[in-house]
Amino acid sequence: MHFMKKYLLPILVLFLAYYYYSTKEEFRPEMLQGKKVIVTGASKGIGREMAYHLSEMGAHVVLTARSEEGLQKVASRCLELGAASAHYIAGTMEDMTFAEQFVLKAGKLMGGLDMLILNHITYTSMNFFRDEIHALRKAMEVNFISYVVMSVAALPMLKQSNGSIVVVSSIAGKMAHPLVASYSASKFALDGFFSSLRREHGVTNVNVSITLCVLGLINTETAMKATSGVFNAPASPKEECALEIIKGGALRQEEVYYDSWSWTPILLGNPGRKIMEFLSMKSFTFDKLISS
DSSP annotation string for 184-244: HHHHHHHHHHHHHHHHHHHHHT---EEEEEEE--B--HHHHHHHTTT---PPBPHHHHHHH
Instruction: Flag whether pLDDT at 21 surpasses 80.
Output: no
Q: Supply the pLDDT for residue 240.
A: 98
Q: Residue 46: in which H helix or E strand, if any?
A: helix 45-56
Residue 255 lies in a domain: yes
pLDDT digits (tens, 9 = 90+) for 227-281: 999 999 999 999 999 999 999 999 999 999 999 999 999 999 989 999 999 999 9
Residue 135 lies in a domain: yes
Q: Would the annotation count 232 as a binding residue?
A: no
Q: Supply the pLDDT for residue 112.
A: 98
Q: Supply the pLDDT for residue 132.
A: 92
For residues 54-59, average pLDDT: 98
CA distance linking residue 134 with residue 261, whole number of Å: 34
| CATH number for the domain that contains residue 270 | 3.40.50.720
Q: Residue 255: in which H helix or E strand, if any?
A: strand 255-258
Residue 5 lies in a domain: no
Of 258, 64, 80, whose CA–CA distance to 169 is shortest? Answer: 258
pLDDT digits (tens, 9 = 90+) for 98-149: 999 999 999 999 999 999 999 999 988 899 999 999 999 999 999 999 999 9
Q: Would the annotation count 2 as a binding residue?
A: no
DSSP codes, 122-171 = --------SS-HHHHHHHHIIIIIHHHHHHHHHHHHHHHHT-EEEEEEEG
Residue 58 lies in a domain: yes
Q: Would the annotation count 155 as a binding residue?
A: no
Q: Supply the pLDDT for residue 2.
A: 55
Q: Would the annotation count 58 as a binding residue?
A: yes
Residue 139 lies in a domain: yes
pLDDT digits (tens, 9 = 90+) for 143-195: 999 999 999 999 999 999 999 999 999 999 999 999 999 999 999 999 999 99
Catalytic residues: 183
Q: Supply the pLDDT for residue 24.
A: 66
CA distance linking residue 22 with residue 211, whole number of Å: 18
C-alpha distances in Å from residue 165, one per residue of 50, 77, 103, 248, 280: 14, 25, 13, 11, 24
Q: Where are the strands (E) in 16-163, listed by range?
A: 36-40, 60-64, 85-88, 115-118
Of 115, 203, 126, whose CA–CA distance to 167 is shortest? Answer: 115
Residue 6 lies in a domain: no
Instruction: Flag whether pLDDT at 290 surpasses 90.
Output: no
Residue 9 lies in a domain: no
Cα 172 off chain centre by: 14
Q: Would the annotation count 92 as a binding residue?
A: yes
C-alpha distances in Å from residue 54, one per residue of 86, 104, 162, 207, 238: 10, 20, 19, 22, 14
Q: Supply the pLDDT for residue 25.
A: 82
Q: Are strands 60-64 and 164-170 parallel, antiparallel or unpaired?
A: unpaired
Residue 17 lies in a domain: no
Q: Supply the pLDDT for residue 23.
A: 46
Domain count, the chain: 1
Q: Supply the pLDDT for residue 86.
A: 98
For residues 20-26, average pLDDT: 62
Q: Which domain holds residue 222?
A: 27-291
